[in-house]
Amino acid sequence: MADTPTGDGAPVRRSRGEDLRLLRRYWPFVAAERRWLALGLLSVPVMTLGGLAQPYLIKEAIDGPIAAELRGDRYAGPWTIGTLALVFLLAVVGEYGFRGLQLYALQHAGYASLTRLRRAVFGHVLTQSSKFFDQRSTGTLLSRTTNDVEALGEVLTFGIVGILGDLVDIVAIFSAMVALDVHLTGMSLVVAPIIVVVVNFFRRQLRKYSTEIRRSMAEASGAFQEALAGARVVQLHGRRRATVQEYKALNYQYLRAYSLSNWYDASLYAVMDGVASLSIALVIWYGGGAALQGAVSVGLLVAFIQYIQRVFVPIRELSGKVATIERALAALERIFGLLDVDERLPQGDHAPAQVAGRIEFDGVQFSYDGKAPVLRDVQLQVAPGHMLALVGPTGSGKTTLARLLTRHYAASGGSVRLDGTPVEHWRQAALRRAVGVVQQDVVLFSGTLGDNVDLGRGLPRVQLETALRDACLGDVLDRMGGLDAVVGEGGGGLSAGERQLLSIARVLAANPAVVVLDEATASIDTLTEQKVQAAIERVLAGRTALVVAHRLSTVRRADQIAVLRQGEVVECGDHPTLVALGGLYAELVAAGERQGAIA
């Protein structure tokens, strides 16, 4: 059994069978790098043989030509000092040359597989419905695709293959020691119980604090991301000091866990070095006495000391590598836990070449949490080329109704149809081409002005420039120097009105049959207001429109107005009819005429 962290960092028990299942799931991401893995594995025996040969060659040199020279005898053996030195050099070059080759091969395989996994996680997240993002913080998702994926890099580079190499080294060294002298081998193993106790204790501590490191790092990363995203709010409301203190506290949790992990790691090395020295002392004590009696040669004693020093290196590393794999398995569990959550909305294969733009809401019901209904039995129809304005108090369900048409959420009941076909039967890409959305909260990306209009659709540059000019952004296009002008993250170089116009340009460039317009409520100057109105007129012209309306001027020109209250359509008709009715719409208009907005 192995400990694994839960979402809050508390360890739970994970079976070895579960560990193997996680590794099997990871294998497809590594499979394409089989050749590099094979190269890393094939390097293991060469490295081991090179390491084994060196103490043996020293023994042969001491017991052979050096001993003969000290006795004044002529050495008649097969090895000369020059030959032994040359073979020793070849063994060193072979060991470290293939060690470097193994490290390069495993790093190549490891980070190539991480690239595939990171792409898979990122692609999976981007295909999820809006409900998925409503329930998860950006910081948590960021941690999964960065910190957790990065933790896997050590699995192949220093983990599984490294453990295999360490085990091969340990078995090979002890085999060589037994072959040379059983009694000296037995004496060197007297410290084995100490090694087992020490390694097991430090392994548990390292695993514990490694889990704490990952948890605290995820919390600090999430807090940092949120602080950056809300930097202006933090500054405007004087929360800089409090935000810094909160982030400082999270960093101290990370620092404490990392410091304790480093302390146990360093202590493990120090204790293991001490145990190795104790083992060498026992061998010298026992072997020295045997050497004085002529039962053991000096060369053999030196070789044993070399082998003991060598065997403690993989034993010491083994614990750290086991802890590394435990961290990676915990990260894998979190990553695959994310990949196992599939909240994508199902889609069909309906993708017509032409879209008329007829919209129908037939008994539509919806709730975000599955309990409190947001929409109740909504019945609405919009003929092709006509405009439906949605008005009502805040929270009445206007924006939610528009999101059901664009398939960001799925209706809990009833049917939403476009051209007579339920939206769930449409291919998602075709639905998004047919329905363009002018957002109220415009998101701009780091890149060029053209990139922010095109959004990866590969539209011709002429079409992009025409869309910007039709959206009354010709002066911005000229001022910034064309489509290749760089727009900073969040559109820092553009005003609120210009960002709104850019959202309209995106729709104009795509030329959809249906437009969903969530009218902006930001305060803008009169000239920009006129530009926005002119751009809205262009984007609505000849298209079916579903408008979450705030401006009275937009509401008045709608072919049909639906008044929503608490998720229900309480009034429906054109402007004169609803005003004459004297109901909720008339109240909204009367209140809105004083400020030019209806809701």
Q: Which residues contact 418 (CB under 8 A, 6 or more apart)?
A: 355, 357, 358, 359, 360, 405, 426, 431, 434, 435, 514
- Contact by Cβ (8 Å): 330, 214: yes
Contacts by 565-572 with C-beta closer than 8 Å and gap 24+?
565/392, 565/393, 565/396, 566/376, 566/395, 566/396, 566/397, 567/366, 567/373, 567/374, 567/375, 567/376, 567/378, 567/396, 567/397, 568/375, 568/376, 568/377, 568/378, 569/378, 569/379, 569/380, 572/380
**What residue ranges of the chain are covered by domains with CATH 1.20.1560.10?**
15-340
Instruction: For 24-50, give one letter per residue: b (16+ CB within 10 A) or e.
Output: eebeebbeebeebbebbeebbebbbeb
Q: Which residues contact 317 (CB under 8 A, 6 or more apart)?
A: 162, 166
Angle ∠(487,489,495) on CA atoms, nearest 5: 65
Measured CA to CA, the distance from residue 48 to residue 432 in angstroms comes to 59
- Contact by Cβ (8 Å): 274, 312: no
CATH topology of domain 15-340: ABC transporter transmembrane region fold (1.20.1560)
Per-residue pLDDT of the chain (599 residues; tens, 9 = 90+): 444 444 434 444 455 677 778 888 888 888 888 898 888 888 989 999 999 999 999 988 888 888 887 777 777 677 788 889 999 999 999 999 998 998 888 888 888 888 888 899 888 888 887 778 877 777 678 777 777 787 777 665 666 777 788 888 889 998 999 998 888 888 888 888 888 888 778 877 877 787 787 778 777 877 887 787 777 777 777 778 888 888 888 888 888 988 888 888 888 878 888 888 888 888 888 888 887 777 788 888 899 899 988 888 888 777 667 667 777 777 788 888 888 888 888 888 999 989 999 999 999 999 887 677 889 999 999 999 999 999 988 888 898 999 899 888 889 899 999 999 999 999 988 998 999 998 777 888 888 889 889 988 888 999 999 999 998 888 888 888 888 888 876 666 788 788 888 889 999 999 999 999 887 555 566 677 788 888 888 888 889 999 988 777 778 889 999 999 999 999 999 999 999 998 888 888 887 665 556 65
SS3 385: coil
Residues belonging to the chain: 599
Measured CA to CA, the distance from residue 259 to residue 48 in angstroms comes to 34
CATH topology of domain 359-592: Rossmann fold (3.40.50)
Q: Which residues contact 569 (CB under 8 A, 6 or more apart)?
A: 378, 379, 380, 562, 563
Q: Quick one: tokens of 541?
A: 């012209």
**3-state secondary structure string across 140-202:** HHHHHHHHHHHHCHHHHHHHHHHHHHHHHHHHHHHHHHHHHCHHHHHHHHHHHHHHHHHHHHH
**What residue ranges of the chain are covered by domains with CATH 3.40.50.300?**
359-592
pTM for this structure? 0.70
User: Between 160-180 and 81-126, two packed helices, what is the crossing angle to 10 degrees?
Assistant: 160
